[in-house]
Structure formats: C-alpha cells, structure tokens
C-alpha cells in the first residue's frame, strides 16, 4: 500500500471544511508492523479511514498493488484489506466460530453456505489468532482480550494482504495489550502480513513496531524506526506537555521534572535498576559521591546520612524516611 501526495480531511458537498493533513507519501510493506501514534485529535482515525477506502481523500491517491484504491469494488477491496475497529461488536447469541465465519463474506454469496474450504480457513484463522480454544464459546461470554482475538481472527478469515486495526488494545489490561501486540508482530513477521495499527500506548508501540508513523498536532506524519524518532527528538516534540516530557535516554515519560536533590547509590543488578527508578520518582539524581548514600546489602536497604545508618526491609520505607515521613 502506497499513498501519493495524499490530503485527508472533511468536506461538505464540494466545500472543504477541514484539512487534517496533506502531502502524505506513506508506504506499508508485507512482513512489517507499523504503529500509528499521536496525540488525541491529530487525525489518526481519519488517516486510517482514508487509506482503507472508508473515507474519500481530499486530494492525492492511495494505491494497492499499483491500482488506485477507488478502482476496487467492495468485495475485491475486502479481499485485500481487513479492518478491526475499536467499537465492540454487538452480535447477540453467536458463537466465536460463526463470527469468524463472517469474514468469508467476500468469497461467498449472501445466502450460500460455507464450503469446506471456507471452514478450513476459519479454523486456520482462529489458530493464527491464538483463539482456537474459543471457537465454541458464545461471544457475549468472552473477555475483552478474548473478543479482540476473535475479531482479529475474523479479519484474517478475509485472507487480506493488509490488516488495519484502530486502537485494538483500548479496552484491555496490560497482559492483554502485550498479548495482542505480540500477535500482530507474529502475523507480520511469521505470516508476511502488512499490519498497521493505531495506538495510544507509546511504550508498547516502541517495543513492538518495525516502524512508527508519528502524527503531530499539525497533521504532519514523521516515519521511522522507533529509535530514530526518539533520537531525532520527534517523540519529545510531539508528546511533551507541561511538566510531562519524553526522556529519550529511557524511552519513557518523565513526570517529575528536573531532579532537585542528589544521592549516591551502592547497588547492583535489579536492585540498582529499581532503586534508580524509585529515587528518580521522588526527585533525586544519582551521583558518584554525596553526603547521602543508599546501599543494597543482604536483601535489605540501608540509608547513610548525618553519620548514621538506618536499615529497611522495603524500598518504600526507605523512601518514606528520605521524604521525612518516618520509617
């Protein structure tokens, strides 16, 4: 899929009401997972709707296999592009298997029964989505994570070359979000699908994506590996607001501002990693030498200051002492 000088936005009749973004030259290749990220209102959903053919562009074109997307009829387009939307689907008393079977509609007539080939593809799609064990369950009994896997299986049953998802992790807990993103990586890398997903989870996008399309508040789209966009300052410029800023050295958001105090830390391995995070959170910068020292020793924590040593079983109580709230 390629866009050429694409302009997206909204118009009423022949009058253009709003241009969201223009001059977009984007490419999505088989075997690649791309995450579309950006602030609320930047135009991510508008871009997805336009490149999937659900919304007409204001100018420019979207090409699929060197053909303009508007030259495809609905069924032909559904064989190439499958879309998974954020809104939960209300399907009533339907088994997961039957819901996935709806993905075969581009290949069957409305009133035709599915052929054995169609049933085979449904079973394979469920397996690819890690949802074979859910086939006989009724959809209304599924958890949000299970339902999302079934919806991805339905999309795969269309046998698309492109799979596009709008916030597929929106209603999921952390393990569910990680599981879905791992699935999308597997579909891109293991099954040579072109996968594009929008997400608000920047950390998960940076860990999962081959490339990121970063859409800023002005509608500009910057493309690159997550590491490139961190190094060139694009993430920081797009997401830093007020006291919250993107720290390119950690790849995370910092809500604490500049450290106001200094402390020395004597610890190794995981103890050091998590102690640094905890001390940073309460406003300390780690330095080589300081009149205040935190030490990890024999599965305990020790605070050295004012010539005295205090011992703690937990980091939490040590932090309380540093903040002057007792042991």
Q: Do domains 1-80+160-241 and 261-322 have the same CATH topology?
A: no
Lowest mean pLDDT: which of 38-42, 75-79, 105-109? 105-109
Task: Look over the chain and give the mean of its residue pLDDT values, rounded to a whole number.
Answer: 91
Strand 300-305 with 308-312, pairing: antiparallel
Structural domain spans, the chain: 1-80+160-241, 89-156, 261-322
Per-residue DSSP letter, 323: T
Q: Which of 20-29, 71-80, 139-148, 238-247 bottoms out in mean pLDDT, i.e. has the lowest? A: 238-247
How far is the C-alpha of 293 from the C-alpha of 149, rounded, in Å? Answer: 49
Model pLDDT, residue 93: 84
Average pLDDT over residues 52-56: 91
Class of domain 261-322: alpha beta
DSSP state of 147: H
**pLDDT of the residue at 171:** 81
Tokens of 309: 């040593």
The 10s digit of each residue's pLDDT in 252-309 is 777 666 778 999 999 999 999 999 989 988 889 999 999 999 999 999 999 999 899 9
Least Cα distance to 312 among 297, 298, 302 occurs for 302
Residue 151 is predicted with a pLDDT of 93
In residues, how long is the chain?
327
Question: Does the pLDDT at position 34 exceed 90?
Answer: yes
Q: For residue 26, what pLDDT is reported?
A: 97
What six digits make up the tokens of 98? 């039957």
**Token pair listed for 281:** 């959170």
Higher pLDDT, 113 or 327: 113
- For residue range 38-47, list pLDDT tens digits in order: 998 899 999 9
Q: Does residue 15 register a pLDDT over 50?
A: yes
The tens digit of pLDDT for each residue in 192-215 reads 999 999 999 988 999 999 999 999
Angle of CA points 2, 125, 226, to nearest 5° = 45
Q: Are strands 81-84 and 162-166 parallel, antiparallel or unpaired?
A: parallel
Beta strands in the chain (DSSP E): 2-12, 15-24, 32-37, 59-64, 67-68, 81-84, 162-166, 194-198, 211-215, 221-224, 245-247, 252-254, 261-266, 284-287, 293-297, 300-305, 308-312
Query: What proportion of the chain, given as a percentage, has pLDDT over 70?
Result: 96
Model confidence at 244: pLDDT above 80: no
For residue range 127-174, what is the model confidence (pLDDT) as tens digits? 999 999 999 999 999 998 899 999 999 999 999 999 999 999 888 888
d(CA 285, CA 283): 7
pTM of this prediction?
0.82
- pLDDT value of residue 90: 74
Distance CA 295, CA 266 (A): 5
Dihedral sign from CA coordinates of 213, 216, 222, 225: negative
Q: Which CATH number fits domain 1-80+160-241: 3.30.200.20, 3.40.50.300, 2.40.170.20, 3.90.25.10?
A: 3.40.50.300
- pLDDT band at residue 327 using 50, 70 and 90 as cut-offs: very low
């Amino acid at each position: 899929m390629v866009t050429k000088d694409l302009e997206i936005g909204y118009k009423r009749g022949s009058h253009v009401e709003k241009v969201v973004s223009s001059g977009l030259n984007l490419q999505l290749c088989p075997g690649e997972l791309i995450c579309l990220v950006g602030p609320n209102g930047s135009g991510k959903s508008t871009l997805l709707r336009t490149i999937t053919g659900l919304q007409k562009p204001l100018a420019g074109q979207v090409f699929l296999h060197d053909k303009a997307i508007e030259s495809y009829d609905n069924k032909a387009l559904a064989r190439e592009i499958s879309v998974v939307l954020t809104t939960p689907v209300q399907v009533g008393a339907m088994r997961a298997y039957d819901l996935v079977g709806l993905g075969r509609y581009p290949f069957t007539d409305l009133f035709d029964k599915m052929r054995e080939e169609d049933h085979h593809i449904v079973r394979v799609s469920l397996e690819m989505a890690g949802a074979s064990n859910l086939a006989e369950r009724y959809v209304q009994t599924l958890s949000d994570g299970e339902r999302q896997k079934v919806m991805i299986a339905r999309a795969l049953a269309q046998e698309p070359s492109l799979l596009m998802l709008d916030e597929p992790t929106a209603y999921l807990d952390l393990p569910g979000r990680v599981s879905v993103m791992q699935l999308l990586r597997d579909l891109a890398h293991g099954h040579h699908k072109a996968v594009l997903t929008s997400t608000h989870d920047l950390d998960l996008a940076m860990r999962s994506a081959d490339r990121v399309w970063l859409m800023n508040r002005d509608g500009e789209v910057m493309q690159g590996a997550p590491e490139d966009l961190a190094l060139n300052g694009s993430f920081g410029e797009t997401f830093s607001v007020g006291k919250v800023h993107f720290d390119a050295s950690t790849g995370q958001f910092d809500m604490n501002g500049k450290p106001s105090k200094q402390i020395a830390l004597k610890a190794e391995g995981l103890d050091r990693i998590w102690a640094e995070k905890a001390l940073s959170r309460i406003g300390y910068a780690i330095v080589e030498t300081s009149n205040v020292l935190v030490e990890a020793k024999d599965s305990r924590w020790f605070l050295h200051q004012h010539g005295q040593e205090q011992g703690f079983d937990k980091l939490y109580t040590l932090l309380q002492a540093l903040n002057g709230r007792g042991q």
